Amino acid sequence: MKEVLKVENLVAGYKDSTVLRGISFNVHEGEKVVIMGPSGSGKSTLLKCIIRLVEPWEGEIFLGSIKVTDPKIDIRKVRMRTGFVFQSYNLFPHMTVIRNVSLPLEVVKKIPKDKALSKALEVLRLVGMEEFVDKYPLELSGGQQQRVAIARALAMDPLILLLDEPTSALDPELREEVLLTLEKIAKQGKSMLIVTHEVDFAEDVASRVLIIDSGTILEEGEPWKLFHKPLKERTRRFLKTVMRRKGLL
């Protein structure tokens, strides 16, 4: 299987504090990789480094055959081939739902307006938001906004979807609708890299789980194995807190 994402020895941080201390992993085509870890462990920073919203200090990142960390590269070319979903949705509040999805297609991908609109409608249908096309983001619930954000990322036909705690800002009942949407997309074979604390979701969807702690990969493996027979004590303690919080233990 082809690699869609390869991260090698990534080191990054903010000003004088190092957050990521040499992370290496890859994602193959169609694979769903879940990243878990305590807060402050560098999960979000890692995701942001992949599209250089945070500049990597050392190491290399490849998206397909594109070298993301090449200083001469036009980073927009990378960003238009990845779909990034933020924890707090970050839709554009002054645009309707459909415009939120179709605008990037028009201005970034240079797709003609009518085609952009029909593509937008298609992905909004996929996430079950086709009835809300003329609404504005702030008229929607958090779960609905997140589904639009997923549609917006998906519309760009990304090589990989990067999801940064897509359900953390949501109430439990709204979380479910977003997770179901993500499962549906996962089944369609999209490559995904997901930062989340949702153990059930990881078990159902992920092909691999990476546990990150203090900027390094603590442990990785298939979800069932990792959740039930972690090799390291630190992993076991972390998983215990996550599961207790979810009422699974």
Partner 1 sequence: MVDSLVFIASILPRLLEGLLTTLYLGSLSFLMGLMLAIIMTPLRSFMKGIIPLIIRGYIEIFRGTPLLVQIFIIYFGLPSIGMKFDPLTAGMLALGLNSAAYQAEILRSSIKSIPESQFLSAESLGMSSPQIYKYVILPQALRVAIPALVNEFVTIIKESSLVSVIGVVELTRKGEYIVAFTFRALETYLAVALVYFIVCTAFSQILRLIEKRTKIPGFEAGMR
For binding to partner 1 (CB under 8 A), which residues are involved?
Answer: 51, 53, 76-80, 82, 84, 86, 88, 90-94, 103-104, 107-108, 135-140, 152, 156
Could you tell me if 7 and 23 are in contact, meaning their C-beta atoms sit under 8 angstroms apart?
yes
Looking at the Cβ atoms of 38 and 104, the one nearer to partner 1 is 104
Element (H, E) at 220: strand 216-221
Looking at the Cβ atoms of 190 and 208, the one nearer to partner 1 is 190
Strand order in the sheet with 208-213: 82-85, 160-164, 192-195, 32-36, 208-213, 216-221
**CB neighbourhood size of 176 (10 A):** 14
β-bridge pairing 160-164 and 192-195: parallel
In the bound complex, what is the minimum distance in angstroms from residue 51's beta carbon to partner 1?
6
In the bound complex, what is the minimum distance in angstroms from residue 195's beta carbon to partner 1?
14
In the bound complex, what is the minimum distance in angstroms from residue 135's beta carbon to partner 1?
8
Angle at 63 between CA 200 and CA 193, to 5 degrees: 10
In the bound complex, what is the minimum distance in angstroms from residue 181's beta carbon to partner 1?
19
In the bound complex, what is the minimum distance in angstroms from residue 4's beta carbon to partner 1?
17
SS3 55: coil
Looking at the Cβ atoms of 161 and 209, the one nearer to partner 1 is 161
Angle at 229 between CA 224 and CA 233, to 5 degrees: 130
In the bound complex, what is the minimum distance in angstroms from residue 156's beta carbon to partner 1?
7
In the bound complex, what is the minimum distance in angstroms from residue 76's beta carbon to partner 1?
4
Looking at the Cβ atoms of 53 and 249, the one nearer to partner 1 is 53
Strand order in the sheet with 3-14: 17-28, 3-14, 58-63, 66-67
Looking at the Cβ atoms of 80 and 217, the one nearer to partner 1 is 80
β-bridge pairing 208-213 and 160-164: unpaired
Question: Per-residue DSSP letters for 155-169?
Answer: HT--SEEEEESTTTT
Looking at the Cβ atoms of 62 and 136, the one nearer to partner 1 is 136
Angle at 159 between CA 43 and CA 205, to 5 degrees: 60
